[in-house]
Amino acid sequence: MSTSYDADLALFVDGSWRAGEGRDCHEVVNPATGAAIAGLPLASAGDLDEALAAANKAFANWRATDVEARGAILHKAAALLRERSESIAILLTTEQGKPIGEARGEVIGSAQLFDYFAEEAKRIYGRVLVRPTGQRSIVIKQPVGPVASFTPWNFPIYLMAKKLAAALAAGCPVIAKPPEETPGCTTALIRALADAGLPAGVAQLVFGVPDTVSRHLIASPVIRKVSFTGSVPVGKHLMHLAADGAKRVTMELGGHAPVLIFDDCDLEKTLDMVVPQKFRNAGQVCVSPTRFYVQAAIYDRFVEGFAERAKTVKTGSGLDADTKMGPLANPRRPSAIGALVDDARAKGARVLAGGERGESGFFFQPTLLADVPDEADIMSNEPFGPVAVTRPFENFDDAIEQANRLPYGLAAFAFTENGRRANLLGDAIEAGMVGINTFAISGADTPFGGVKESGFGSEGGPEGLESYLVTKAIHQA
């Protein structure tokens, strides 16, 4: 199969594809080389207004469509994603940089989301309340209405699918605004839905200047729900916009995941797990393990073993079969990560592996920092890149204090062979998701979301479907 970038980039509004036609254009870049590979048409204000009108019109029919019929379309879309997985994965790797194996997994995971929510929609249950004979009181769940969804570039197809699958299953039309860095794979997702028979206006695709598009869509009375995955500052901004219309929001925001390594863990097995996980997607993962707190008795062995493994991670184009870590997604990231590493080094941290950007493209070396003080910026600001920071701890209470120190609480991890300690860790760590001796915390059937400034609301599982439903009580005497 060809590995060339063969993307037919366009907007999708009211069932029709719209290309350049005088619209402003965004340059799409291959992060492995820094070279421009395509031009992306951006939505005009007129395009956004037409998308809003189409979503508003489509809502009445889509919410009334039988759940079996909705599910059949979602299952068909899932099948098409699987059939097209290789070509979509090539688009994803070329645009975003991740190794092709990771890209294939992301496409297949997206298909699983559509299959899951196609079936979960059949379990949108209400209840009947106890009332005197001749009276009825029931509680039902109904779709909230048209949704504006905003997704980032780190997992562009999977995060978009997570929002679309749940919303469409619940009966809500969606106007999707994915990232301009990765338009080919997200366009392919919408094509799969259109080819599966989704009616016009039910799922639409727009690109544009993020702040301009979000302000325009959220200000419209058509939009009843906003779903966003991205940074904490942008999430807070969108919440302010949504507040003016009292719109429901789901926010999956940033994290700075702590990893607690206790001295009773299987150290070699733990290292073999944590190092590949840290450098997955070049560390551009909202739940990436980043702050490694290691019990003092095994600290030196841990950092030595981590550094040895980090130095063997092969970087390069994600399309090369032996690449283990690709480039960062855009030219801003290497400079931002380099500044955090330099600050940590100046404040006393030791660089045991990496620490430098690549010579071409948007690469940064797999990096390990040891003995990083709390005063270093990287201990409070998520690097969102291939950098692990470490420092020792003495006891359980010290570890928990460090893990919960920041105002974020998306994900956290711990490694221990002590069952009682594992139970206590699950209770004490302030995070929406906790993995103990595992990094497998995300799946179609599991709620995904954070606490504190990492956001609120869940995606995935029945909780993800619930966020697109409103509750109505009906009383009859």
Spatial distance between the Cα atoms of 37 and 320, rounded to a whole number of angstroms? 18
Strand residues in 146-214 grouped as ranges (E): 147-150, 174-177, 203-205
Whole-number pLDDT of residue 20: 81
Query: If you average pLDDT over residues 239-266, what whole number do you get?
Result: 97
How many Cβ atoms are within 10 Å of 128's Cβ, its own excluded?
Answer: 9
Name the nearest CA neighbour of 376 among 349, 353, 350, 351.
349
The values of phi and psi at residue 383, to 5°, are -70, -30
Query: If you average pLDDT over residues 171-194, what whole number do you get?
Result: 98
Whole-number pLDDT of residue 360: 85
Q: Is it the case that residue 391 has pLDDT exceeding 90? A: yes
DSSP letters for 224-284: -EEEEES-HHHHHHHHHHHHTTT-EEEEE-----EEEE-TTS-HHHHHHHHHHHHTGGGG-
Give 3-state DSSP helix, strand, coil % of the chain, rounded to 5. Answer: 40, 20, 35
Q: Is it the case that residue 471 has pLDDT exceeding 60? A: yes
Whole-number pLDDT of residue 21: 83
The catalytic residue positions are 252, 286
Whole-number pLDDT of residue 4: 80
Q: What is the mean pLDDT of the chain?
A: 97
Name the nearest CA neighbour of 10 among 37, 31, 38.
38
Whole-number pLDDT of residue 6: 86
Q: Is it the case that residue 185 has pLDDT exceeding 90? A: yes
Per-residue pLDDT of 413-441, as tens digits, reads 999 999 999 999 999 999 999 999 999 99
Looking at per-residue pLDDT, the higher value among 2 and 46 belongs to: 46
